[in-house]
Structure 1
Amino acid sequence: MTHPMGTPFHLSSWLRIIYETYSFEPGLLVYTNESDEIAGLFPYFVIKGLFSRPRIVSVPFSDYSFPLTMGDDVENKILNYLVEQNTSSFIEIRGPVRDNSKYKRHNIYQGFNLELDPEPSKVYKNFDKRTIVRCIKKAEKEGVKIIEDNSPEGVDNFYRLNKLTRKKHGVPCQSRKFFEKITEHMVSKGLAFILLAKFDSDVIAASMFFKFNKTIYYKYNASDPAYLSSKTPNHLLIWHLIEKSCLQGFDTIDLGRTAKDNHGLTRYKNMWGAKPYELPYYYYPVAKGASSQDENGISYKIMTGIWKHLPDIIVDRVGPVLMKQLA
């Protein structure tokens, strides 16, 4: 079943990555019409907590994943069936879905799309000149180079920087196995790729992108804090991505999920010319779980504050375990 709303987070490759890394119980609801044709699909995972009842999430580690259906009535039937058969502590659907009276809408996130053009200069002219354009030119002047590297060495460089970046922000990092599985099931199939920013012989920034249909998905970004202000590598890396995507015929770059109260990141994405879109999540019976937490909340700030100061040996061992619980 092909669907115009399909994303890489609906692909069997992505679902396999999650299953093979974390062993969550996978589920797939399939709705067929009177002609025995598939009219709806809904992938999800059942996640068992250490001290809580299982919960249903569609889909862990994804900005969004939702039922793909042919018609509003089919979507409602799938959502209602999930509630009727539910034995979990709660259900989390990473929207958008059409409002359903049984589910609680939680509206703390937004996404950002950057529209592309066959001529990259037309996208470039919409960049904020005082910040974005200046930083691109600075990185070029400093001699930063952007390369694509999907080799094991490229994955090593990305993972090293990803651990640095996640700790800087006070949040746990995915396991090495998770990114190895992305390489195995998506990079190898042309569904994902890695860009590196190099200064001399050092890799100082790295990003991983997914691609599906005519859209590039900016999934993970990482960088060395020691070079961020002096070399501004991320700006040049993103500009390289935009230029490359325009010339390859892509229509859009999805810059990913952002909490609405994260004003700094919101402003940053706006400065590239990206436009926000609503990204509500839906819960039954009430909003629960890590994705429902306000980033300005006290518990979130305490957790991130502690994590920033933990020894690396603890972060490396505990991080992947926490990610499994917070999925």
Structure 2
Amino acid sequence: MADELQARVSRVSVYPVEEYDAYVASHPLATPYHYSCWLKAVERAYRHTGWLVTVHRGSTLCGVLPLVEIKTPVGRSNLISLPFCDLAGVLADDCDVRHLLLAEAQSLADTNRAGGLEIRQGGAALEELDLKSVSGSPKVRMLSSLPGDANALFQSFKPKLRSQIRKAEKNGLTSEVRKDLDAVEQFYNVFAWNMRRLGSPVHSRAWFRELKQAYGDQMLVGLVFLDDQPVGAGILLMAGSKACIPWASTLEKYNRLAPNMLLYWALLSHVCERGCTSFDYGRSTLGEGTYRFKKQWGAKPYELVWSKWQVEERVESEPERSGHQSGVSRLRPIAEEIWRRLPLAVANWIGPKLRRYITL
């Protein structure tokens, strides 16, 4: 029949991505991560295979699910929607299409002998009443709405936040929002130093270069300078009226000058003037420092629902709402301390070789 649903699984490299991206652009729940740009960058930088699960009703595309297959040197592969970001997951016209997309994704995982399938979706807003009932330290997505111009946004901030932004400027810091590849390189120098300080393996330079090539002018770089030295930097992705900031870092020795305040203000004011109405500050642990930092800008917490299927058992794990960590390894603090002691050049060489398999 003409209106019968038909599912298809394709490599992203062979699917007509113009059709896919047009559907993503039309869907209200789409994020900048959903676009084929993210999948292309993953394939080019890390050589992981990108897949698209699609459903058509007749000739009309009515649902999509982007996936990346992560093959580790040991053990079985996993399919994730999507790695290296907070969420992507199913975009569908209705529940029937959604169920068919998930069924096809599980079939792909079975066919490819993957160990599991993980779908990362955004959830509902968490009100104050909800927050009081949440146990542990869950992860949440922080979102805010933006007004029609930067001046209105600035006036919406509390006096303390406005004074902190002015303080950064009075301390001699300046900011730029740029689109060029050299700005990506300057971002990376700040980002890599900060990741070593945090004891975490860093993404490769190639990853950010490929992101820039894929997203083009929809990827912005915010930079904060003291004289001519970058002391703060962030990456921002745009899609329609939505913007998100996946990575931001500052050099710790200059934090007393408040470079993070100027960095976020530079990016927020820029996208506000460009007509963005929604800003995604990314993932934070409920109640901790980054959560409080983002909340002061007007961001509110939303659920993160990460659902996992163990392919061998053919059962779905209970969705992990508002986060994904069941516990912190006892070895993690030791590993982080060792990493901090590595020379920066060594950390930047080893880090990407490990980071490509760390899907967070």
TM-score by length of 2: 0.80
**Does residue 204 in structure 1 map to residue 221 in structure 2?**
no
Residue type matched to 1:318 in 2?
Answer: I
- Between the aligned partners of 1:118 and 1:234, the Cα distance in structure 2 is 23
Q: Which runs of 5+ in 1 are unaligned?
A: 99-106
In structure 2, what is the equivalent of residue 55 of structure 1? 78
In structure 1, what is the equivalent of residue 98 of structure 2? 75
- Between the aligned partners of 1:294 and 1:158, the Cα distance in structure 2 is 32
- Between the aligned partners of 1:24 and 1:157, the Cα distance in structure 2 is 26
- Between the aligned partners of 2:170 and 2:280, the Cα distance in structure 1 is 28
Contact persistence 2:32–2:242 (CA under 8 A): no
Contact persistence 2:40–2:50 (CA under 8 A): no
DSSP 3-state at the match of 2:220: strand
The aligned runs of 1:183-198 (5 Å cut-off) are 183-186=212-215, 188=216, 190-198=217-225
Contact persistence 1:120–1:243 (CA under 8 A): yes
In structure 2, what is the equivalent of residue 6 of structure 1? 30
**Does residue 277 in structure 1 map to residue 302 in structure 2?**
yes
DSSP 3-state at the match of 2:162: helix
In structure 2, which of residues 143, 151, 161 is the aligned counterpart of residue 113 of structure 1? Answer: 143
- Structure 1 residues 292 and 310, CA, compared in 2 at 3 Å: closer, same or farther? farther
Contact persistence 1:114–1:273 (CA under 8 A): yes
**Does residue 37 in structure 1 map to residue 60 in structure 2?**
yes
The aligned runs of 1:92-131 (5 Å cut-off) are 92-96=118-122, 108-130=138-160
DSSP 3-state at the match of 1:293: coil
Larger RCO of the pair (alpha carbons < 8 Å, separation 6+): 1
Residue type matched to 1:116 in 2?
Answer: L
- Structure 1 residues 283 and 224, CA, compared in 2 at 3 Å: closer, same or farther? same
**Does residue 157 in structure 1 map to residue 189 in structure 2?**
no
Residue type matched to 1:244 in 2?
Answer: H
TM-score by length of 1: 0.88
Contact persistence 2:42–2:50 (CA under 8 A): no
- Between the aligned partners of 1:284 and 1:302, the Cα distance in structure 2 is 31
- Between the aligned partners of 1:201 and 1:312, the Cα distance in structure 2 is 21
Contact persistence 2:284–2:291 (CA under 8 A): yes
- Between the aligned partners of 2:40 and 2:107, the Cα distance in structure 1 is 27
DSSP 3-state at the match of 1:326: coil
148-157 or 62-71, which deviates more = 148-157
The alpha-carbon deviation at position 128 of structure 1 amounts to 4.3
In structure 1, which of residues 244, 267, 277 is the aligned counterpart of residue 292 of structure 2? Answer: 267
Q: Which runs of 5+ in 2 are unaligned?
A: 1-22, 125-136, 311-316
The alpha-carbon deviation at position 122 of structure 1 amounts to 3.5
- Between the aligned partners of 2:258 and 2:199, the Cα distance in structure 1 is 22
Residue type matched to 2:60 in 1?
Answer: E
Residue type matched to 1:311 in 2?
Answer: P
Contact persistence 1:161–1:206 (CA under 8 A): yes
Residue type matched to 1:26 in 2?
Answer: G
DSSP 3-state at the match of 1:279: strand
Could you list the per-position Cα deviations for residues 12-41 of structure 1 after superposition, in whole angstroms to 9, with x for gaps in the alignment? 1221111001111221111122x2322111
Task: Report how many residues are paired.
Answer: 311
**Does residue 252 in structure 1 map to residue 278 in structure 2?**
yes
RMSD: 2.3
The alpha-carbon deviation at position 126 of structure 1 amounts to 4.0
- Between the aligned partners of 2:318 and 2:116, the Cα distance in structure 1 is 8
The aligned runs of 1:235-250 (5 Å cut-off) are 235-250=261-276
In structure 2, what is the equivalent of residue 309 of structure 1? 341
